[in-house]
Amino acid sequence: MTAAPSPPSRFAHSRFVATTMIGAYLIINALLAVIAPLTAGWPTAGMTAIVVPPMVLAMIHIVIPLARRAGR
C-alpha cells in the first residue's frame, strides 16, 4: 500500500507565488544589468528581445522548480 499524500500546507500557494515573484525579480534585474552596457541606446523592444529567452529558460529550469519545493 502507498501512503496517502499529505494535504498541502495552508500557505503553500502564497509561498509559491512569493518565491516565483522574488526569483523573477532577481533574474530580470541580473539579466538587465548584464546587457545594459551592450544595449545602451537601444529601444526597449530591442532590449526585451534579448532578455526574454534567457528569462524564460531561467524561470522554467530554476525558479519554478525552486518555488514548487518552497510551496510544499
Q: Determine, yes or no, domain membership for 60.
A: yes
The domain in which residue 18 lies consists of 12-70
Per residue of the chain (72 residues), what is the pLDDT tens digit? 576 666 667 788 888 999 999 999 999 999 999 999 999 999 999 999 999 999 999 999 999 999 888 877
CB 19 within 8 A of CB 66: yes
DSSP 3-state of 1: coil
Q: Determine, yes or no, domain membership for 6.
A: no
Cα(38)–Cα(34) distance, rounded to whole angstroms?
8
Domain count, the chain: 1
Sequence-ordered list of residues with C-beta below 8 angstroms from that of 19, at least 6 positions apart, any chain: 63, 66, 67, 70, 71
Q: Determine, yes or no, domain membership for 50.
A: yes
Length of the chain: 72
| Burial readout 29-48 (b: 16 or more C-beta within 10 A, e: otherwise) | eebeeebeeebeeeeeeebe
